[in-house]
Amino acid sequence: MELDIYKIGIIDTMNSKGIELLKSHKNFNVDIITDLSKENLLKELPKYDGVTLRRGKLDSEVLKNCKNLKVIARHGVGYDNVDTNYLKANNITLLVTHNSTSTSPAEHIMFMILNIYKGREMFDKMVRDGSFHKAIHLQIDDNFELFDKKILIVGFGRIGKKLIKKCLGFDMKVLVYDPYVDEKNIKLLGGEKIVNLESALKEIDILSMSVPLTEKTRNMISHKEISLMKKNAIIINISRGGIINENDLNDALNKNVISFAGLDVFETEPPEINNPLLKNKRVLLSPHAATFTKECLENMSLETAQNIIDFFDKKLEKIKIVKL
């Protein structure tokens, strides 16, 4: 019997384990597409039955050329780089890495909080510079304990649910704002459900964003919301740039409205070289690297590849499919 051969494109490559898994499938003919320019995607993508997608924008103009395309497997969970209306209208399935993409981002949030709360590189530098004894004379008023601090987790999905356990491990108080999650489920995990975002912002020490970028969440935290926060409050955003208004954030940090921010994501990536946040000493930055651990990158690539395999083998778990 003749085999059905499917052409699979790996857009923007991924960890070799997932590539090997796809290549080992007898029904697949696999290519890696590294040129993410629109021109190249328009030219290359029409031949594929399925693609994996890391970076690269699949807008309607690119997608309408892809007459063979049946499935897009995101290497990750955010899908703001895909035109979901087009997918829905044309019956193209969108898959995400449901299992592998939350532990490292939740740890990255803790890394940022601890880094900001515990003297950042200052202490390390003092020891290296021979200033060991100077530390005892420092007026320490911007290093803090996490014990008893109030964190507000905005978005209580995969990442939010991993994060709450870590916060409770540090004896923090956890408030949760997610209108789509039941109070019962938040309470069960040790959090307190918040209905009014604005009043919660007034009482918290740490705000951490773990929501998708949508028309509702764009600029969700802007001047009005930041102005409500305490002077020593910090904001962490590992979800998507655009959820926090960068100009308003930079302005608030410069005017001492809040004290610090940790940002893994930016409105434009990479951020423009003249983006004032890059020069702001009150911001801890990372290059969209919340998933950049050995385990997470291997697992994400394996899960992405397995999603494509399960789709064509008709064994896909429903939870991997984005409801469009």
Bridge partner list, 74 = 53
Q: Which of residues 63-122 bind ligand NAD (CB under 6 A)?
A: 76-78, 101-102, 105
Angle at 313 between CA 307 and CA 316, to 5 degrees: 45
Instruction: Report if residue 48 touches ligand NAD, rule: CB under 6 A.
Output: no
- Exactly one of 9, 18, 119, 155 binds ligand NAD (CB under 6 A); that residue is 155
Residue 240 appears among annotated catalytic residues: yes
Q: Check 183, 269, 272, 317 and give the catalytic one.
A: 269
The residues facing 10 across adjacent strands are: 32, 52
Looking at the DSSP assignment, which residues form a beta bridge with residue 4?
A: none
The helix (run of H) or strand (run of E) holding residue 5 is: none
Task: Take residue 38 and report the two structure tokens written for it.
Answer: 């629109």
178 touching ligand NAD, by CB under 6 A: yes
Q: Is 217 in the site for ligand NAD (CB under 6 A)?
A: yes
- Select from 30, 45, 261, 290 the one that contacts ligand NAD (CB under 6 A): 290
* Binding of residue 157 to ligand NAD (CB under 6 A): yes
Considering only 10-18, 81-89, 144-152, 235-243, which stretch makes contact with ligand NAD by CB under 6 A? 235-243
Whole-number Å distance between alpha carbons of 270 and 227:
27
Residues 6+ apart with CB under 8 A from 283: 253, 260, 261, 262, 263, 277
Q: Residue 239 carries which side chain, given as an amino acid letter?
A: S
- Binding part of the chain for ligand NAD, among 24-32, 51-59, 206-214, 244-252 by CB under 6 A, reads 206-214
* Residue 282 near ligand NAD by CB under 6 A: no
Active-site residue flag, 75: no
238 binds ligand NAD (CB under 6 A): yes
User: What is the distance between the alpha carbons of residues 183 and 209, in angstroms, rounded to a whole number?
Assistant: 19
Give the interface segment with ligand NAD, choosing from 81-89, 166-174, 175-183, 274-282 (CB under 6 A). 175-183
- The CA distances from residue 103 to 159, 175, 207, 319, in Å, are 7, 20, 19, 18
**C-beta of 239 vs 259, nearer to ligand NAD:** 239
> 11 in helix, strand or coil?
strand
Q: Quick check: 174 binds ligand NAD (CB under 6 A)?
A: no
Q: Least distance from C-beta 305 to ligand NAD, angstroms?
A: 18
CB burial of residue 145 (10 Å; 0-12, 13-18, 19+) = exposed
Query: Rounded to whole angstroms, how far apart are CA atoms 154 and 175?
Result: 9
Nearer to ligand NAD, 28 or 156 (CB): 156
Quote the CA–CA distance of 225 and 109 in Å, as a whole number: 20
212 near ligand NAD, judged by CB under 6 A:
yes
Check: CB of residue 211 under 8 Å from CB of residue 220.
yes
Is 158 a residue that touches ligand NAD (CB under 6 A)? yes
> Do residues 260 and 116 make contact, with C-beta atoms less than 8 angstroms apart?
yes
Q: For ligand NAD, which is the closer residue by CB, 60 or 293? A: 293
288 is catalytic: yes
Q: Which is nearer to ligand NAD, 30 or 167 (CB)?
A: 167
Binding site for ligand NAD (CB under 6 A): 76-78, 101-102, 105, 154-160, 177-181, 210-213, 216-217, 238-240, 264-265, 288, 290-291
Q: Which residues are catalytic?
A: 240, 269, 288
